[in-house]
A and B are shown apart, each in its own frame.
Chain A
Amino acid sequence: MSDQKNDHQAAAPAVQFTAVERYFGDVHAVDGVDMAIDDGEFFSMLGPSGSGKTTCLRLIGGFEQPTSGRIEIHGQDVTNIPPFLRDVNTVFQDYALFPHMTVGQNVGYGLMVKKVPQAEREQRVKEMLALVQLPDMQNRKPSQLSGGQRQRVALARALINHPRVLLLDEPLGALDLKLRQQMQLELKAIQHQVGVTFIFVTHDQEEALTMSDRIAVFNQGKIEQIGTPTEIYEQPATKFVAGFVGTSNLINAEQAKQIVGQRGDYALRPEKVSIVAEESSVAADQCCVTGTIQDVIYLGVNTRYVVNLDMGGEMVVLQQNLRASADNPTVSHRQKVMLIWQRDDLRLLQG
């Protein structure tokens, strides 16, 4: 994937992967990854478990060594440099707080390693705990904190060292939904404030879309697509991306020939499709299919319709519930309908 942003930037990217591979025995955890992460961006690595995203993060942190390939951090080749010599810090999935130390000692650990004088250390620990909104917590033990608080301590402990790159390994995975959404916004705000490159690993596509400047979608050790959230969602490059990020109707070559007159695999987002009466007129830049309503699933904000197509196969349609009526009186189970959408909304998939 070429990176347009980087073309007009003189400085080296924050992190650069060149043909990086990491094998564990026969398992190709990372199987030829090329990517360039810009300085100061919020970059997410999104993918299902076992897709290689966490291994990539551990390669940047230095906890794993690549089997082959080259990794650079700010232009410096770090391929064989141990973690403790890298200008990178990590927020671990399980937070990895030292249980025998207080919150203050945990946050100040990096400074203690660097032999920063105690007075300065305490001052900076205080500032950092204020930044993550945990003032006056220095003397607690990690075991006395809630999950959300531990997550903040882990963040403070990593940020206090002023790393040029911060790695976050599914840090919000263990939090409940409300707290997770709150932390998503806070993380984004903190990133804005400190101006550090954030590299964020997640399997939650919504989280990635919410927080990221750019997203790399991982599958089976390879990157399927790199792009902004809008690009990833609106223009999925592959079948996998179309299916993993949000939901998509996949239109196969046979169906495509009947609908648009040419063969090819297409993806179509359910919310781009409208349900109209069977004999409606269709504009020149619109596509249409006919079918029978198979299922009506009320989801609060939306209603999801599963439609059996007359040409075979089914299509999912998502319609926003704009009015407060209990159901849409014009559409019901077993009803024959026509589905229409803008031709531009069809996305041709690679491979």
Chain B
Amino acid sequence: MVTDAQTIQTKKLSTPEYLSRFFFNHPRTVLILLLAVPLTWLIVFYVGPLLILALQSFFYIDDYSGTMVKQLSLNTYAELFTPPNMEIVTRTVTMAAAVTLVDVLIAFPLAYYLGRFAKGRIKSLLYLGVLLPLWSSYLVRVYAWKLILSNEGIANWFFEVVHLTGVRDWLLSLPVVGGSSLSFSYLGMFMVFVYIWLPYMILPINAALERVPRSLLDASSDLGAKPGYTFRRVILPLVFPGIIAGSIFTFSLTLGDYIIPTVIGNSSYFIGPVVNRLQGTSGNVPLAAAFTIVPITIMGVYLLLARRTGAFDAL
């Protein structure tokens, strides 16, 4: 044995052999090598710009010259908190919250069926159905919805075929959410948002549901709980992290989106298009930056609240 060990020690090693032995004995070096590229990428292209963005939101535009003054001040935030701008924030947040809520309501039953009952081919087809829209162009789908919802579109045709134009007209006559047509109303915009982010809600809920062992449901039932009780006390708490994960997607994606409010709706302002306009045509980068800080802050507060309610306890 001793002589064997000595031969291994003294044997001339080939480069790959030497390297693999070096890496085996230096796990920390391996970790650094593996993380170097992604970590650099993360810092240079994600964290860095975000910090610069935050910094720029404390600069301001000089009213006379129209140029950016690179001095720290709260002038831009004072502008952000004026009523017209806050109205934009409120409108966007309300839309994001409504979209998230309805996405949860639609996604849950589907994810539940997918995770608990669907088997084999049906399951694959359903997964495909959820994922397929994500493979096609986002812009194409938004413009497709523009056509669907327009006055000449199939939505209107459908209402006429089933003789429910009264319902449509009533919906469009509602204050705030209504409008001249589905494609020019909050209602239409809301429908498109709900559609476009739905897969991002289904997938995390489905993943969370699949992780709940069948025996837990059996156990709850065994201990006398009716299905509704089992749902509230066992399924919901265990799936809640999945719902939170999904809502992070739907909520933040709606907060930041600038295509849908531009293509569909009554051209009232949402955060996304406003940021687009401010940093583009208006050249007011500080205010654009301040507007961008809003969704980030909202998401931060949202996550803190979610953690406080114990949403992540079951992770």
A89 on the interface (CB 8 Å rule)?
yes
Tell whether A99 pairs with B238 under 8 Å between CB atoms, given A84-B226, A92-B215, A113-B229. yes
A100 on the interface (CB 8 Å rule)?
yes
Q: How large is the interface on A (under 10, 10 to 19, 20 to 34, 35 or more residues)?
A: 20 to 34
B222 on the interface (CB 8 Å rule)?
yes
The one of A63, A84, A89 in contact with B225, judged by C-beta atoms closer than 8 angstroms, is: A84
Minimum Cβ distance to chain A for residue B315 (Å): 10
Contact status A100-B314, CB under 8 Å: yes
The one of B218, B224, B225, B314 in contact with A92, judged by C-beta atoms closer than 8 angstroms, is: B218
Contact status A96-B221, CB under 8 Å: no
Q: Which residues of A contact B222 (CB under 8 A)?
A: 61-63, 83-84, 88-90, 158
Contact status A83-B218, CB under 8 Å: yes
Which residue on A lies nearest to B230, using beta carbons? A84
Q: How large is the interface on B (under 10, 10 to 19, 20 to 34, 35 or more residues)?
A: 10 to 19
Q: Which residues of A contact B238 (CB under 8 A)?
A: 99-100
Contact status A90-B219, CB under 8 Å: yes
Tell whether A157 pairs with B223 under 8 Å between CB atoms, given A63-B218, A94-B213, A96-B216. yes
Q: Mark B206-241, 1 if CB is under 8 A from A, else 0.
A: 000000010110111111111001000110011000
Q: How far is the CA of A96 from the CA of B221 in the complex (A)?
A: 12
Question: Could you tell me which residues of chain A, from 81 to 133, have a CB within 8 Å of some CB in chain B?
Answer: 82-84, 88-90, 92-94, 96-100, 109-110, 113-114
Contact status B221-A92, CB under 8 Å: no
Contact status A100-B225, CB under 8 Å: no
A319 on the interface (CB 8 Å rule)?
no
Contact status A100-B215, CB under 8 Å: no
B313 on the interface (CB 8 Å rule)?
yes
Tell whether A96 pairs with B224 under 8 Å between CB atoms, given A61-B218, A90-B219. no
A247 on the interface (CB 8 Å rule)?
no
Minimum Cβ distance to chain B for residue A162 (Å): 12
Q: How far is the CA of A61 from the CA of B220 in the complex (A)?
A: 12
Contact status B225-A96, CB under 8 Å: no
Q: Which residues of B contact A90 (CB under 8 A)?
A: 218-219, 222
Minimum Cβ distance to chain A for residue B229 (Å): 6
A249 on the interface (CB 8 Å rule)?
no
Minimum Cβ distance to chain B for residue A153 (Å): 12
A303 on the interface (CB 8 Å rule)?
no
Which residue on B lies nearest to A89, using beta carbons? B222
Contact status A110-B314, CB under 8 Å: no
Q: Which residues of A contact B216 (CB under 8 A)?
A: 96, 98
Contact status B215-A94, CB under 8 Å: yes
Q: How far is the CA of A110 from the CA of B222 in the complex (A)?
A: 9
A321 on the interface (CB 8 Å rule)?
no
Q: How far is the CA of A92 from the CA of B220 in the complex (A)?
A: 11
Q: How far is the CA of A61 from the CA of B222 in the complex (A)?
A: 7
Contact status A110-B215, CB under 8 Å: no
CB<8 Å pairs between A and B, sample of 21: A61-B218, A63-B221, A82-B221, A84-B221, A84-B225, A88-B222, A89-B222, A90-B218, A90-B219, A90-B222, A92-B215, A92-B218, A93-B215, A94-B213, A96-B218, A98-B220, A99-B238, A100-B314, A113-B223, A113-B225, A157-B219
A61-B222, A96-B218 given. 7 additional CB < 8 A pairs?
A: A63-B222, A84-B224, A89-B222, A90-B218, A96-B213, A113-B229, A157-B223
